[in-house]
């Protein structure tokens, strides 16, 4: 048993320690070029750092979870455990480090902290190496209440350990079976191969989102012998028979996943996967002079920052905020082709929020209402409770006749069973009851007050305020 009591304990300045670019939450293809601003932007956009910062600003910093610091050298003290907390503290101390469209929110939080000195120093233990800290990190993020790693992150973490320690040693120390380790190694390998592909920017962004990437769908596909044959990868995942065909066929799979063409329902059984493999073969026939390549050699490209995906991330890292064309991003939504919400979503992705902020905001409100109604109807919810108002008594109305405020009131209620995340519900209650921007009140004002308009920067704030709700409604639950 490791005697962790011998690890040195010390206080560290928040500004002196660095977020770890090799954290499993960070996509591999971006690590070589990931500076601290990019990492902060990533944590804010994907890993609920605002919510954590809000808790710290309101309740103070609780040192109950000790950070683990690894001093790689005299200039680099990396946070191995506690990256989200350090990110939150850095942004409370200096909101200007936040992405541009989030700075206002972090400035408001920072203003709640009377004494910034309380946030400048944090207690931590010093790990002698990454490998020494690995068992603690694994336990915290796979078996406890600390924000858990997604399967892709666990796979990334285990692959790194296996590379340095060997599979048997990892199995012995972690308690994970060899077969489970093999499953994670296969997952990490196939995801890493996706990072090597030359795909459109929106698909590259879809791949880089380790929090939202639907790895279970990809697992179903690559575990099918028919799919493996169609893309030209060996059953042991070590060799590729036709490099050009693989890039086209596998790139087609990833693009289909990004666009919702293929998902867990459409690849749910072997007959569906066999039919999809036939489609792949029809779209990407073998080349006349196939060139074989090992998977290991292809994966070497992930380590280079010159790949298409890594280059895209490097450019994003040098900007404080990614310029989004539309008000909403690409989502691998579970909606039928032709569904009203899907059509509206696709239109909102194409409309320039810079050129048409008022149109974008108005359509966003319509999208929100339509999405909630579709979400409720898919779950057989028929009535919506309504509060008493001037011309109406308290009671219940049909979903189709419910107003947006009543819909938000229903889904944000503590007892509403189809949204489990209490943080999302709190955010919805804040959105519904607040009077500042973004909120239901200001959104209604833009629609109903003929004197009021909205700017592009204000319009962009609408999506982050409701992002997690849309993900739950459109990508995590079945839609009819």
pLDDT score, position 308: 44
Best CA proximity match to 50, nearest among 7, 100, 88, 14: 88
- Kindly report the CA angle at 259 between 39 and 240, in degrees rounded to 5? 80
The whole-model pTM stands at 0.46
- On whether the CB atoms of residues 379 and 418 are closer than 8 A, the answer is yes
Rounded-to-integer distance, Cα 77 and Cα 71, Å: 4
Q: What tens digit of pLDDT does each residue of 206-230 get?
A: 888 887 889 999 999 999 999 999 9
Who's near 46: CB < 8 A, 6+ residues apart? 25, 209, 210, 211, 212
- On whether the CB atoms of residues 136 and 81 are closer than 8 A, the answer is yes
pLDDT score, position 449: 85
At 329, is the secondary structure helix, strand, or coil?
coil
Q: What tens digit of pLDDT does each residue of 160-209 get?
A: 888 878 888 878 776 778 888 899 999 999 999 998 888 887 888 888 88
* Mean pLDDT, residues 294-317: 59
> Does residue 356 or residue 47 have the better pLDDT?
356
pLDDT score, position 231: 94
pLDDT score, position 220: 92
At 475, is the secondary structure helix, strand, or coil?
helix
- On whether the CB atoms of residues 19 and 43 are closer than 8 A, the answer is yes
Rounded-to-integer distance, Cα 370 and Cα 319, Å: 34
pLDDT score, position 35: 86
The percentage of residues in the chain with a pLDDT greater than 70, rounded to a whole number, is: 85
pLDDT score, position 142: 53
Most confident of 234-243, 325-334, 389-398: 234-243
């Amino acid at each position: 048993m490791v005697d962790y009591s011998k690890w040195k304990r010390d206080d560290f300045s928040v500004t002196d320690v660095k977020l770890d670019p090799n954290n499993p939450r960070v996509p591999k293809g971006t690590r070589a070029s990931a500076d601290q601003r990019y990492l902060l932007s990533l944590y804010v956009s994907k890993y609920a750092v605002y919510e954590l910062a809000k808790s710290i600003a309101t309740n103070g910093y609780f040192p109950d979870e000790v950070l683990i610091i690894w001093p790689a050298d005299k200039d680099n003290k990396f946070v191995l455990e506690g990256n989200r907390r350090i990110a939150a503290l850095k942004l409370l101390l200096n909101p200007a480090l936040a992405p541009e469209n989030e700075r206002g929110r972090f400035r408001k939080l920072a203003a709640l902290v009377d004494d910034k000195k309380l946030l400048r120093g944090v207690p931590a233990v010093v790990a002698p190496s990454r490998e020494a800290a690995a068992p603690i990190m694994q336990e915290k993020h796979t078996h406890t209440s600390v924000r858990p790693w997604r399967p892709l992150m666990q796979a990334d973490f285990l692959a790194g350990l296996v590379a340095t320690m060997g599979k048997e040693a990892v199995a012995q120390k972690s308690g994970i079976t060899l077969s489970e380790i093999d499953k994670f190694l296969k997952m990490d390998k196939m995801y890493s191969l996706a990072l090597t592909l030359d795909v459109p920017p929106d698909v590259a962004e879809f791949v880089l989102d380790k929090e939202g990437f639907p790895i279970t769908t990809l697992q179903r596909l690559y575990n099918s012998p028919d799919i493996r044959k169609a893309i030209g990868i060996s059953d042991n995942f070590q060799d590729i028979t036709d490099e050009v065909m693989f890039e086209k066929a596998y790139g087609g799979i990833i693009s289909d996943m990004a666009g919702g063409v293929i998902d867990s329902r459409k690849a749910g059984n072997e007959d569906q996967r066999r039919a999809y493999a036939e489609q792949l073969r029809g779209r990407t026939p073998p080349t006349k002079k196939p060139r074989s390549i090992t998977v290991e050699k292809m994966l070497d490209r992930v380590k280079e920052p010159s790949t298409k995906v890594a280059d895209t991330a490097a450019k994003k890292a040098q900007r404080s905020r990614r310029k989004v064309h539309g008000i909403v991003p690409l989502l691998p939504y579970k909606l039928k082709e032709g569904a009203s919400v899907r059509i509206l979503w696709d239109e909102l992705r194409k409309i320039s929020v810079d050129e048409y902020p008022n149109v974008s905001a108005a359509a966003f409100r319509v999208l929100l209402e339509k999405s909630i109604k579709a979400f409720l109807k898919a779950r057989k919810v028929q009535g919506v409770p309504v509060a008493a108002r001037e011309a109406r008594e308290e009671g219940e109305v049909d979903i189709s006749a419910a107003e947006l405020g009543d819909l938000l009131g229903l889904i944000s209620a503590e007892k509403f069973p189809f949204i489990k995340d209490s943080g999302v519900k709190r955010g919805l209650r804040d959105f519904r009851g607040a009077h500042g921007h973004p909120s239901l009140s200001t959104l209604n004002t833009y629609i109903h007050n003929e004197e009021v308009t909205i700017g592009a920067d204000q319009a962009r704030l609408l999506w982050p305020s409701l992002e997690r709700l849309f993900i739950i409604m459109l990508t995590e639950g079945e839609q009819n």
